[in-house]
Amino acid sequence: MPLLESEAPRDPYVLFQRWLREAQDAGAPQPDAMTLATYGEEGPAARMVLFKGLQDGSFLFYSNYASLKGRDMTYDRRAALVFYWSVTRHQVRVAGAVRRLGRAASQEYFATRPRGAQLSALASRQSRAVRSREVLERRVLELAAAYPDEVPLPREWGGYALRPRWIEFWESREDRLHDRLRYVLRNNGAWRFERLAP
């Protein structure tokens, strides 16, 4: 379906949620996967993370604050996201500023994670060199024994919220004459959109 200005919603989050649902319904593998691009003391970096929802106009995700991505976002709060769903031929790009979520919000989400994921987060000093997988597995077993009931929220782990400056929607078309609409946040909080050449 063509991405036309006359049919596009005025609110970019409406279109984002529609496209995410379409990707889920079409059987896209891991439709909540997104690329997170950051910049830090070591230069630019990108990696896949999981989208965990929208809150107050921000895209949420969780990670280790001491990881490379965490250090990057301390160095430079600007970051970008890319969603790509080949099955629906859609891409969404997002750029804006990142902030950490509060400890209570991070704890609330952490409590919903499977126990194995909780133990892995507690055991892993993400992005640090480790001697072997055996070392990690042994650490997980030690922590499982130490915390048979409730796994504590790791001190260096929590949520992030990326508040967009702009959101771009790309839809594949024949002959590479693709549709690109970019929503830009105005100073008054309203969105304007514009068509970009493919």
Which residue in 68, 119, 183 sits closest to 191, CA to CA? Answer: 183
CA angle 87, 92, 96 (to 5 degrees): 155
Helices (H), the chain: 12-25, 68-75, 103-110, 115-123, 133-146
Q: What is the pLDDT of residues 56-73, one digit of tens each?
A: 999 999 999 999 999 999
**Residue 36: enclosing H or E segment and its boundaries?**
strand 33-40
Measured distance CA(103)–CA(115) in Å, rounded: 19
The pTM assigned to this predicted structure is 0.92
- The total number of residues shown for the chain amounts to 198
Cα 24 to the chain's mean position, in Å? 16
Question: Tell me, what's the pLDDT at 4?
Answer: 84
CB-CB neighbours of 1 under 10 Å: 8
Q: What is the pLDDT of residues 97-135, one digit of tens each?
A: 999 999 999 999 999 999 999 999 999 888 788 899 999
Question: Tell me, what's the pLDDT at 100?
Answer: 98
**Residue 44: enclosing H or E segment and its boundaries?**
strand 43-50
Question: Active-site positions?
Answer: 176
* Domains of the chain from N-terminus onward: 12-110+158-195 (2.30.110.10)
DSSP states along 103-147: HHHHHHHHTTS-HHHHHHHHH--TTS--S-HHHHHHHHHHHHHH-
Measured distance CA(68)–CA(7) in Å, rounded: 41
CA angle 22, 28, 32 (to 5 degrees): 85
Which residue in 127, 81, 34, 101 sits closest to 110, CA to CA? Answer: 101
Question: Tell me, what's the pLDDT at 88?
Answer: 96
**Segments of the chain scoring below 70 in pLDDT:** 1-2
